[in-house]
Amino acid sequence: MEFSTLLFTIQNGIATITINRPDKLNALNKDVIQDLSNAIDEVYQNAEIKSAVITGAGAKAFVAGADISEFISLNKEGGAALAEKGQTNVFNKIENAPKPIIAAVNGFALGGGCELAMSCHFRIAAENAKFGQPEVNLGLIPGYGGTQRLTNLVGKGRAMELCMTSNMIDANEAHRIGLVNHVVPSEQLLPKAIEILTTINTKAPLALAKVIECVNVAGSENGFQTEINLFGDCFDTQDMKEGVNAFLEKRKAAFQGA
């Protein structure tokens, strides 16, 4: 699959999606949004892909924000349409993907970059990573889910402070407040992501998809009932029968995603 702003590879069931605009600090523009949409569609549809990692090219940035030059001509309706398109075609699509997608954050993850990382199922950060939502400096607010996902991840008070001060935090602080799962040296970033996904890829694919669905509605009024329903659905899968039989027979399960 060809992309103008991304590098896309598949190895051992893991798709690596690299935003490839290092001279622009991998800033999100219309082309990147479209390429990301197409890349995530490929993750959904390609049976060879079991999971994916999103990262940025170069050592300086994961994604340093949106391409601000595209904002200058927008009015109220245009701004709302821009946010809705990005949410629908990329950020929500990543969050609700039935296959695990993690962010490997190198360097700056600011504005839309922080929002992109937060839309992934979890995050690994290099030691040089920096996170922030600086939109108020432009007279704006986050538009790709930042106020919502940041609150869910770090709590209301911290989300309020980060969004209102526009302060950046480093990787260790992001880890302390629960924004990222792991902090590693830069050279270990992708290997750590691949290591975790390689483990995840040995698990039952349908169960993984159901975990994602349940965790995404945690805290809502439907959270517990969704878990009950999807727990029941697992009993109708061949993977559940294989997993239970493998456990009882003291052997490794061979899941087929059925």
- What is the model's pLDDT at position 2? 86
Q: Is 48 among the catalytic positions?
A: no
Same domain, 113 and 182: yes
Domain boundary among 165, 181, 200: 200
Same domain, 123 and 229: no
**Whole-angstrom Cα Rg for the chain:** 19
Same domain, 48 and 170: yes
Catalytic residue among 115, 221, 227, 242: 115
* 1 is a domain residue: no
* 133 is a domain residue: yes
Same domain, 168 and 214: no
Residue in the structure block whose two tokens are 């999971």: 51
Q: Is the distance from CB of 17 to CB of 120 less than 8 angstroms?
A: no
Same domain, 140 and 219: no
Q: Is the distance from CB of 52 to CB of 16 less than 8 angstroms?
A: yes
* 257 is a domain residue: no
Same domain, 76 and 147: yes
- What is the model's pLDDT at position 69? 84
* 254 is a domain residue: no
Q: Is the distance from CB of 204 to CB of 211 less than 8 angstroms?
A: no
Query: pTM of the predicted model, to two decimals?
Result: 0.95
Q: How many other β-carbons are positioned within 10 Å of the β-carbon of residue 156?
A: 10
* 98 is a domain residue: yes
Residue 49 is part of a domain; what is its CATH number?
3.90.226.10
Same domain, 196 and 211: no
Which residues make beta-bridge pairs with 169?
131
Per the rule left: phi > 0, alpha: psi between -120 and 50, beta: everything else, 107 is: left
* 258 is a domain residue: no
Domain limits for position 233: 205-248
Distance in angstroms (rounded) separating the CA atoms of residues 89 and 97? 12
Same domain, 176 and 51: yes
Catalytic residue among 95, 135, 173, 195: 135
The tens place of each residue's pLDDT in the chain, 258 residues long, gives 789 999 999 999 999 999 999 999 999 999 999 999 999 999 999 999 999 999 999 989 999 998 888 888 899 999 999 999 999 999 999 999 999 999 999 999 999 999 999 999 999 999 999 999 999 999 999 999 999 999 999 999 999 999 999 999 999 999 999 999 999 999 999 999 999 999 999 999 999 999 999 999 999 999 999 999 999 999 999 999 999 999 999 999 999 999
Q: What angle do CA 14, 18, 103 make, to 5 degrees?
A: 65
Same domain, 228 and 134: no
Same domain, 27 and 148: yes
* 255 is a domain residue: no
Same domain, 46 and 167: yes
Same domain, 180 and 54: yes
* 239 is a domain residue: yes
Q: Is 135 among the catalytic positions?
A: yes
How many structural domains is the chain composed of?
2
